[in-house]
Amino acid sequence: MSELNTDRRIRKTKKVIRDALTDLMEEKGFDGITVRDLTERADINRGTFYLHYRDKYDLLEQSEEEILTRLKKMQLDIKDLDIEDLYEYYLKEEPFPFVVQLFEYIQINGKFMRILMGPKGDPAFPSKLKSFLSGNMMQNLYGKANGNELNIPVDYIIAYVLSAQVGLIQQWLNSGMKESPKEIALIVLNITFMGPLQASGIISLEKIKRKSF
């Protein structure tokens, strides 16, 4: 409900504060920012800041929360995602719709998310993004991945995939979002399914097979 603020002044104030946050984070990093910095940059009275946020941490949290809750809203219809469904898309060489949707939304908040996940950003945000992605895609992996021949603990598989996917998002943001959401979603699908070395053609699929298999 905090979105549907009726008073134009509040909307305007919150906007300039958040714009100031984005810019200043890029310049000096989040923990180099003071409330003074924010209000000077936003050209508002310092007291006004405290009318809306408890402190700079509250501002950051609210800004992140807004992004994550909107992401969660688009997630509802794919709760019972199966690896076989994904496989169908892989065969059709089509990106999975949810992932396209995800990148479309990321694109909207591109600048802020790029900074948030960058070296001057919030060290907690990648974890938050991972646990969002995890909620979507990882449930049924748990079951299927047990008892694999190499005995790699499932947690490592999950950590690998989540971290890699966040890395792809970061690379996309840092390189200026040149690919369309569809294109980048297809890249994600292919690398994830084939593995990085196979998808890039560095190693052929045949070479992977090992004597022991």
Give Cα 182 distance to the centre of its chain: 16
Query: What CA–CA distance (Å, rounded) separates 69 from 96?
Result: 21
Query: What CA–CA distance (Å, rounded) separates 103 from 111?
Result: 13
Return the CA Rg of the chain: 21
Q: Which residue, 44 or 53, is less far from its own copies as judged by CB?
A: 53
Query: What CA–CA distance (Å, rounded) separates 128 from 4?
Result: 25
Binds DNA by CB under 7 A, chosen from 45, 69, 146, 148: 45
Task: Collapse the DSSP code of 207 into the 3-class scheme (helix H, G, I; strand E, B; otherwise coil) and give the result.
Answer: helix
Is position 168 an interface residue for DNA (rule: CB under 7 A)? no
Asked if 125 contacts 117 with a C-beta cutoff of 8 angstroms, the reply is: yes
Is position 56 an interface residue for DNA (rule: CB under 7 A)? yes
34 binds, among its own copies, DNA, none (CB under 5 to 8 A by kind): DNA
Q: Which residue, 7 or 149, is less far from its own copies as judged by CB?
A: 149
36 binds, among its own copies, DNA, none (CB under 5 to 8 A by kind): DNA
Is position 133 an interface residue for DNA (rule: CB under 7 A)? no
Binds DNA by CB under 7 A, chosen from 2, 28, 32, 46: 46
Residue-wise DSSP of 142-190: HHHTTT-TT---HHHHHHHHHHHHHHHHHHHHHTTS-S-HHHHHHHHHH
Query: What CA–CA distance (Å, rounded) separates 213 from 95?
Result: 31
46 binds, among its own copies, DNA, none (CB under 5 to 8 A by kind): DNA
Would you give the DSSP letter of residue 195? -
Binds DNA by CB under 7 A, chosen from 8, 73, 79, 178: 8
Binds DNA by CB under 7 A, chosen from 36, 70, 72, 144: 36
> Structure tokens of 22?
């984005």
Q: Which residue, 49 or 125, is less far from its own copies as judged by CB?
A: 125
Is position 3 an interface residue for DNA (rule: CB under 7 A)? no
Binds DNA by CB under 7 A, chosen from 31, 55, 65, 85: 55
Is position 15 an interface residue for DNA (rule: CB under 7 A)? no
- Please give the size of the binding site for DNA, defined by CB under 7 A: 22
Is position 50 an interface residue for DNA (rule: CB under 7 A)? yes
Q: Which residue, 56 or 114, is less far from DNA as judged by CB?
A: 56
